[in-house]
Amino acid sequence: MPETITITDDRTGKTVTVPIEGGVFPSSALRELDPTLYCYDPAYLSTASTKSSITYLDGANGILRYGGYPIEQLAEKSTYLEVAYLLLNGDLPNKTQLTEWTHDVTHHTFIHENMRKKFAEGFHYDAHPMGMFVSAIAALGTFYTGSKEIDDPVQRYIQINRLISKSPTIAAMCYKFSVGLPFNQPSNDLSYAANFLNMMWKIGDYEVDPVLERAMDVLFILHADHEQNCGTTAMRVIGSSHADPYSSAAGAASALYGPLHGGANEAVVRMLTEIGSIDNVPAFLESVKSGEGRLMGFGHRVYKNFDPRATIIKETAYKVFEVTGKNPLLDVALKLEEAALADPYFVDRKLYPNVDFYSGLIYQAMGFPTSMFTVLFAIPRMVGWLAHWQELLNDPAQKISRPRQWYDGPGERNYIDLANR
């Protein structure tokens, strides 16, 4: 049977047949039928806005792969910087490539002193770290004259490297400012994850625990990319105007700042805190079913089976708790998961734990305040945004993003003088 679809315009009887490739057919079919015809698709539920080779996501079967590699294998065997190289280049690096890439990233972690002393200090003392992070990423581009030279492959690599290298430094700077503590300079002899933890927590003779270092690295891997989500779409839309990567990334981070995108794990912690005890779980689930409560950390816009990242994060959580002590909300979370997955109401609606259900508990156990949760999402997602930005620029089929609309306002009418209104 041919992989095609035939569309008939019942108004004219005109028919067009187009190929189906990878479950997608080109929108040019509609233009062939009628150039004035558009498809109304709020929030892009059924629209593939681009062709990408970066991340494969099968929501029906709970599959996530970066460049063809299952997320389970990468989380077990790889490192964040190795995964970052994969996302940007399409293949895992060999030993020499990984050594050079790691050196380039770990030796460009410092930020200009004016960024720390003048820019950061311009914020109010209680500024939200994510608001500072968004602003700092946009401002970072003003320090580099080559940031606008996006058609130069050498400059493009340099700017991508700077954003990945300096994002943890900026994140730690934002946190330190928000709590009034002195800034810790980067340590280039540490790994990507260990350097970030060191900048966050070093006071006196602090040493990064290797278990927490690995947990941070795994969390970074799991959050590195996730196909065409809200933030990545923002990155591509802004990047389609050929804006520099700093401005584009700031726009993507702004999208992530929204509570419906990057704030989900913070909402999970609030929910578990409000439940308070395992004894209150049954009543809470009943309130959800009656429409009064909301079950956070379950279900996903794309995953209709289970989120493969959730299983990995749950295993990581137990390793972290062996070092930090068990998060007191863990028992509530485990009971909530058990009860929800045993209730046909939630199972029939395919509501399974997602990546946010346990990540907030890990962050909290490691000492991060909830105000830093979205920043912790933005650090690793930076490479995903940049990989898509780079792919966009290399795709000759892409043009400046310009969606159309379905106008439902009034028809033409004549202007009425103010005195007669």
Residue 261 annotated in active site: yes
Q: Which of 220, 136, 216 is nearest to 177 (CA)?
A: 136
User: What percent of the chain stands above pLDDT 70?
Assistant: 100
pLDDT recorded at residue 2: 73
Domain count, the chain: 2
Tell me what pLDDT residue 117 has: 80
Choose, from 261, 343, 348, 388, the residue flagged as catalytic.
Answer: 261
**Is residue 121 located within the same domain as residue 40?**
no
pLDDT at 201: 96
Helix (H), strand (E) counts: the chain = 18, 5
- Lowest pLDDT segment from 16-30, 142-156, 166-180, 222-236: 16-30
| 393 shares its domain with 263 | yes
Least confident of 21-30, 83-92, 145-154, 315-324: 21-30
What is the per-residue pLDDT for 49?
87
Q: pLDDT confidence of 184, banded at 50, 70, 90?
A: very high
CATH number at residue 358: 1.10.580.10
> Buried (b) or exposed (e) across 238-275, using 16+ Cβ within 10 A?
bbbeebbbbbbbbbbbbbbbeeebbbbbbbbbebbeeb
Residue 115 has what pLDDT?
87
Beta-carbon count within 10 A of 103 CB: 11
Percent with pLDDT over 90 in the chain: 77
Is residue 107 annotated as a catalytic residue, yes or no? Answer: no
Q: How far is CA 272 from CA 265, 280, 292, 369, 373, in A?
A: 11, 10, 16, 15, 16
How much is the average pLDDT of 254-277?
A: 91
| One domain, residues 16 and 85 | no
Judgement on whether residues 125 and 28 belong to the same structural domain of the protein:
no
Residue of 356, 388, 395, 417 marked active site: 356
Q: Is 356 a catalytic residue?
A: yes
1 pLDDT higher than 70: no
Local confidence band at 313 (pLDDT 50, 70, 90 cut-offs):
very high
Q: 88 and 29, same structural domain? A: no
Instruction: Indicate the pTM of the whole model.
Output: 0.93
Evaluate whether residue 255 is within a structural domain: yes
Give pLDDT tens digits for 196-251.
999 999 998 899 999 999 999 999 999 999 999 999 999 999 999 999 999 999 99
> Could you say which of 108, 226, 300, 388 is catalytic?
300
139 shares its domain with 272: yes
Residues of the domain holding 50: 4-58
Residues 80-119: tens digit of each pLDDT: 999 999 999 999 999 999 999 999 999 999 999 988 888 8
pLDDT of residue 302: 86
Identify whether 386 is part of a domain: yes
Q: What is the pLDDT of residue 119?
A: 87
What is the chain's mean pLDDT, rounded? 93
Q: pLDDT tens digits for 329-374? A: 999 999 999 999 999 999 999 898 988 899 999 999 999 999 999 9
Question: Do 42 and 157 lie in a common domain?
Answer: no
Instruction: Tell me, yes or no, whether 54 and 131 share the same domain.
Output: no
